[in-house]
């Protein structure tokens, strides 16, 4: 499994939200590129980045910050937030992003995913309250079922699913292991877990997770690293050691 340390950008700053609530924000720094470089220096093989402003509005106002991260680090970047058009995805690829994460638009316009997948790496971001898919920066519930949605993209050519249990995101109370196991059992596409990791034991649990002989491709971790529950190096070791 790979560690995807998270950098969420809002107004140019590195921030974390609690359960996706824009009114419950903690600012951790004002230089995303510096933060990403520290993560890479500690052994992270990927950087996961979310443009929170774009997730809400569709306006990629943090594109310069994202391009600065890509120019600074020597590891691939996975970026989501506000990717609702072909042009928005291409702007990210042109900025040096390796994999574009499509969330709201994947639910509202699945054909966009199928159009973009042959052009570059695309992940579908599935954010849910339980099994209820949410969109627009997690602020709107859709009534769409998580597992049915996963199955619907089986032939879309996507590189990965990024699955976030919103109720656990930023809480550090533990990931939704049962839900992730069901996602693994539903698809052959690589699955990246997001939300709730707060201790090394949580990473061990994700690394040990298996369904139909398949394991998770990676885990996104944010607040636990910023709050110094463990280091990036410790997380990388936990996901790649004997228990993995």
**Would you please indicate which residues are annotated as catalytic (active-site) residues?**
8, 127
Whole-angstrom Cα distance, residue 137 to residue 4? Answer: 20
Spell out where 61-200 has E strands: 77-80, 99-102, 121-129, 132-135, 140-145, 160-165, 191-194
Whole-angstrom Cα distance, residue 214 to residue 126? Answer: 19
Of 185, 194, 171, the closest CA to residue 124 belongs to 194
Helix (H), strand (E) at residue 14: strand 13-18
């Amino acid at each position: 499994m790979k560690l995807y340390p998270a950098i969420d950008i809002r107004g140019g700053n590195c921030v974390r939200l609690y359960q996706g609530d824009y009114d419950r924000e903690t600012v951790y720094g004002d230089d995303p590129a510096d933060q990403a470089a520290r993560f890479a220096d500690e052994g992270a093989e990927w950087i996961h980045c979310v443009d929170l402003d774009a997730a809400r509005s569709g306006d990629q106002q943090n594109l310069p910050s994202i391009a600065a991260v890509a120019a600074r680090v020597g590891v691939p970047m996975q970026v989501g937030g506000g990717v609702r058009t072909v042009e928005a995805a291409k702007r990210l690829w042109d900025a040096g992003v390796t994999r574009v994460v499509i969330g709201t638009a994947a639910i509202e316009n699945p054909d966009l995913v199928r159009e973009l997948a042959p052009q570059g790496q695309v992940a579908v971001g599935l954010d849910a309250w339980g099994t209820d898919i949410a969109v627009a920066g997690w602020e709107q519930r859709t009534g769409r079922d998580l597992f049915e949605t996963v199955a619907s993209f089986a032939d879309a050519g996507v590189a990965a699913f990024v699955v976030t249990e919103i109720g656990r995101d930023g809480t550090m109370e533990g990931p939704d292991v049962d839900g992730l196991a069901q996602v693994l059992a539903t698809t052959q596409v690589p699955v990246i877990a997001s939300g709730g990791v707060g201790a090394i034991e949580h990473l061990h649990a994700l690394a040990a997770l298996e369904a139909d002989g398949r394991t998770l491709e990676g885990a996104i971790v944010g607040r636990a690293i910023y709050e110094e529950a463990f280091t990036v190096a410790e997380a990388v070791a936990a996901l790649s050691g004997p228990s993995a």
